[in-house]
Structure 1
Amino acid sequence: MAEEIPGFTTLTQEGAAAGPPTLSLRPAESPDEALLLRIFAESHCAEFELLGLEPAALGGLVGMQYRARQAQYSAAQPEAVEYLICGGDGSPVGSCWLDDTPGQLRVLDIAVLREHRRRGVARAVLSSLCEQAVAAGKPVRLSVWHQNVPARELYRSLGFTAPAGSGPAGDPAEDGDLGNGYLELQFVPDSAPRLRAGAR
């Protein structure tokens, strides 16, 4: 059974005909490793399939990338926690990495299993995290690949913006540009009216 993290508000998953099931988060554990690898592969390694590798070689490449990502997050944000996003019946539908500190709530990664996409899962999770941040009076921050247009549109629809003066040499035209292909975006408590106005 999924255990909601403290302060995490009830989520609703959009697009279900028989009423919106609830979503919750629970910390990932060792037995979840195979599922987490699958979520990572579907969300971050789809292009590897175009390489035409044998299944064993492809699996090895994906596994190497997965372990590198896990090590990177653990080293850079040692207090970060990986959660499984669970449906109303407790079955996992995705995962997310969160680094919750007194000064900010950073979303390191959020991914949804292929069969559960386009149903509002990521939007519901992010909306709830933003509400949680509003209550705590701190921002939610994340970075997104510049060319990931659907994700950027989702974040902006929820009130995420680039920090002013964060571009190269303070260039406002490049606000949020981290110089490595990623954009830094943030949701600040002042954006709360956008959530209450129905951004979900």
Structure 2
Amino acid sequence: MYTLRPATEADYDFLYALHCAAIREYVEPIWGWHEEWQAEYFRRKFNPNGRRVIEVEGHDAGVLVIEERPDELYLALIELLPGYQGRGIGTMIVTSLLDQAQNRGMPVTLDVLETNQPARRLYERLGFRLVGQKEHRQRMLRLPENEVENKA
């Protein structure tokens, strides 16, 4: 249903448009939305390395960034265009990450904006739990299943 490909410099316009479409409604209530600032910040921070474009039926639909850290896998970024949200794509992608982490015996962590309740509900449904908050970002954790059983 989806494929991943490495992002390139040529994906810049798509990735910026995706960023705006995917998170504006969650950023605006917290900090407001300043287009010039967003564009400049995105331009300064843009690096296609490590980013994978999510394709659905041959169309660019989102972006995924997973950081492999020594003791965890960190879901640094997952964004889908609104037209691809609510179709199970995010669930499949995160479930695949959880399977990889389970096979390696590693936890998965992520941060989600407190205003992004749809994402938080998805993560909770997939077994993540809230473990902390810093400013407007909530840290969530999903332990490997054997560790979940040991902690119960």
TM-score (norm 2): 0.80
Match of 2:124 in 1: 156
Q: 1:121 aligns with which of 89, 104, 109?
A: 89
- Letter of the 2:10 counterpart: P
Match of 1:29 in 2: 8
Match of 1:112 in 2: 80
Match of 1:142 in 2: 110
1:82–1:97: 8 Å Cα contact kept in structure 2?
A: yes
Q: Deviations over 1:78-132 (max 9, x none)?
A: xx71111112x33221112211134211111111012212211111111111111
- Letter of the 1:137 counterpart: G
Q: For residues 109 and 40 of structure 1, what CA distance do their matches in structure 2 show?
A: 10
**Structure 1's 141 and 41: CA in aligned 2 closer, same or farther, altered over 3 A?**
same
1:144–1:184: 8 Å Cα contact kept in structure 2?
A: yes
**Structure 1's 130 and 63: CA in aligned 2 closer, same or farther, altered over 3 A?**
same
Say what the alpha-carbon RMSD is for the aligned residues: 2.6
Match of 2:42 in 1: 66
Structure number with greater Rg is 1
How far the C-alpha of 1:61 sits from its partner, in A, is: 3.8
Match of 1:3 in 2: none
1:182 aligns with 2:137: yes
1:42–1:113: 8 Å Cα contact kept in structure 2?
A: yes
How far the C-alpha of 1:143 sits from its partner, in A, is: 0.7
Aligned residue pair count: 142
How far the C-alpha of 1:24 sits from its partner, in A, is: 2.0
Counterpart secondary structure, 1:138: coil
Match of 2:61 in 1: 93
Match of 1:44 in 2: 23
Runs of 4+ with deviation above 3 angstroms: none
Q: For residues 87 and 96 of structure 2, what CA distance do their matches in structure 1 show?
A: 16
How far the C-alpha of 1:37 sits from its partner, in A, is: 0.9
Structure 2 unmatched runs, 5+: none
Q: For residues 9 and 61 of structure 2, what CA distance do their matches in structure 1 show?
A: 17
What's the % identity of the aligned pairs?
Answer: 26
1:45–1:62: 8 Å Cα contact kept in structure 2?
A: no
Higher strand share: 2
Q: 1:84 aligns with which of 25, 44, 53?
A: 53
Q: For residues 61 and 101 of structure 1, what CA distance do their matches in structure 2 show?
A: 30
How far the C-alpha of 1:191 sits from its partner, in A, is: 7.2
- Letter of the 2:55 counterpart: C
Q: For residues 192 and 123 of structure 1, what CA distance do their matches in structure 2 show?
A: 22
